[in-house]
Amino acid sequence: RRGKMAKSTQLIDNEVFRAFATYTAIVLLKMMLMSLVTAYFRITRKAFVNPEDTDAFGKGESAKKYLRTDPDVERARRGHLNDLENIVPFVGIGLLYALSGPELSTALLHFRLFTGARILHTFAYLIPLPQPGRGLSWAVGYSVTFSMAYKVLKTAWLL
């Protein structure tokens, strides 16, 4: 039992890996929040896509008018998809990066910049802020992932 626990927790004892775990959990929870934002706009704007979702507003023709798109719902959905497109590479490349033996301070810089940039990106998308607010926050996150990929390829390269 003790041996098994020790084995299972050795990665999580590593400081870089602990930092990766913390920031990855935060950005993935932030991405999950987008589902709630979309649901909030769907309910308050009464804009649904599935006929079975409008039954609470009455059956048949009277509910059909709620099967429509709404600008706020679509905006939240675009923010969610943009998260998927950017947070997936961060998690995949970030895991490999955390295992490639970077300095803790360098790793923390990468993880903090990415997480801050993606939180800013969400606010820039939802408020919305004038450009280049959203574009710049996107570019920071993108560059961080690129930088980690470079370190991974330099360390692991085996084609």
Bridge partners of 48?
A: 67
- Sequence-separated (6 or more) residues with CB below 8 Å from residue 135: none
CA distance 25 to 32: 10
Hey, is 87 helix, strand or coil?
Answer: helix
15-44 residues in contact with a second copy (CB under 8 A) are 15-19, 21-26, 28-29, 31-32, 34-35
Among 44, 55, 58, 62, which residue interacts with a second copy (rule: CB under 8 A)?
55
Q: Side chain identity at 47, as an amino acid letter?
A: A
Shortest Å distance, C-beta 149 to a second copy: 5
136 binds a second copy (CB under 8 A): no
Cβ atoms of residues 152 and 93 within 8 Å? yes
Nearest to a second copy of 10, 65 (CB atom): 10
The pair of three-digit structure tokens given for residue 92, joined into one six-digit string: 């995949």
Q: Summarize as ranges the residues that interact with a second copy (CB under 8 A).
A: 4-5, 7-19, 21-26, 28-29, 31-32, 34-35, 49-50, 52-53, 55-56, 75, 78, 80-81, 84-89, 91-93, 95-96, 98-101, 112, 128-131, 134, 142, 145-146, 149, 152-153, 155-159
